[in-house]
Amino acid sequence: MKLASLSTPHPDGKLVVVDNDGKRCVDVSNVAPTLQFALENWSCCEQALNAIYAQLNLGLISNSVALNLTDFSAPLPRAWQWLDGSLFLNHGHLMQKAFHLDPIADADKYPLVYQGAGDSFLGAKDDIVVADLKHGIDFEGEFGVIVDAVPMGCSAEAALSKIRLVVLLNDISYRALGPREMKTGFGFVQAKGATAFAPIALTPDELGEDWQNGRVCLPLHVTRNGELFGQPHGQEMHFGFHELIAHVAQTRPIKAGTVFGSGTVSNGDPSKGQACISELRAKEMIAHGSPQTPFMQQDEVVEFNVFDAKGKSLFGAIKQRVTVSDKSEN
């Protein structure tokens, strides 16, 4: 099943079901007005939503409309909780080598995770609006999942069954602001912009064999200003999403609608490129002693997409342009 949220004056938007081809959608507010409602009532809504999805794919719904992805917000425009991991250990290894950092103890045993701001996610076509280009604007291509309610102490095996939706996201980072915040030990606040999401969320079964052991086993296609930046593969994730969820749930229950991120998709094979500028700069520091690639500037565009074996976009594309805010409006 494929779900999305139309932008409306309501901050949670309006839930729609999207057909398998990503060409048409239908309003399902009679079943669930918003995705958050559907997640909180999944046992009651899932069967009805799946039935609509099946009918839509057969062309049996007369009131379906053509899909216009510019009309969509993030699938879940706001969330009770947004937890971003660092599940691709290659990314951390590169940062440690480039910046001569001490290894993080037990990083291969316990997933790293921080709590970000989930109060206002960006849509796939929303600009990356920044206060100052000197903040070191970076993109981070990630996979993510949205869960049902998870009880405290949930095992990784049980957590896998709580994953309701898979998403694609851009976790925007301000690299010039990160080092000071990391030294405090309290995590990121200023160094993270609003996270953007591709418009379509998928139930894991939509990925078929490309969903394995809590991982999206597909390449993430990244371009910067229309030029290929990387195609790292999701299969190289050290921890599966279910292991991240169980780690967080060890000491507290998790509410339905919580979003978990994978961290930057990163591969050990240099030919796969990368999904963030910081990783490329780290590679340059290791090879040449200093970074050569600048962070994003005004009017630069980053795009993310994931394709199936037939070349079909699964989540819809994220395509964002950098723009500086008009401070006179503040």
Domain range holding 132? 82-329
Radius of gyration of the chain, Cα coordinates, nearest whole angstrom: 19
Number of domains observed in the structure of the chain:
2
The verdict on residue 77 lying in a domain is no
Residues 158-173 pLDDT 10s: 999 999 999 999 999 9
Of 62-76, 146-160, 168-182, least confident by mean pLDDT is 168-182
61 and 126, same domain (yes or no): no
pTM of structure: 0.95
Residue 327's pLDDT is: 67
Backbone angles phi, psi at 220, to 5 degrees: -100, 115
Residues 281 and 301 in one domain: yes
State the pLDDT at residue 268. Answer: 94
pLDDT at 328: 47
* Whether residue 123 sits in one domain with residue 212: yes
- 46 and 18 together in one domain: yes
Same domain? For 55 and 117 the reply is no
pLDDT in tens, 177-208: 887 877 787 778 888 899 999 999 999 999 99
Same domain, 44 and 98: no
Per-residue pLDDT of 102-142, as tens digits, reads: 888 888 899 999 999 999 999 999 999 999 999 999 999 99
Asked if residue 76 belongs to a domain, the reply is no
Report the distance separating Cα 194 and Cα 307, nearest Å. Answer: 25
Q: Would you say residue 4 has pLDDT above 60?
A: yes
Q: What is the CATH number of the domain that holds 168?
A: 3.90.850.10
Residue 208 main-chain phi, psi, to 5 deg: 55, -130
What pLDDT, in 10s, does the model give residues 267-325? Answer: 999 999 999 999 999 999 999 999 999 999 999 999 999 999 999 999 999 999 999 99
- Please give the average per-residue pLDDT across 249-258, as a whole number: 98
In this structure, are 36 and 109 located in the same domain?
A: no
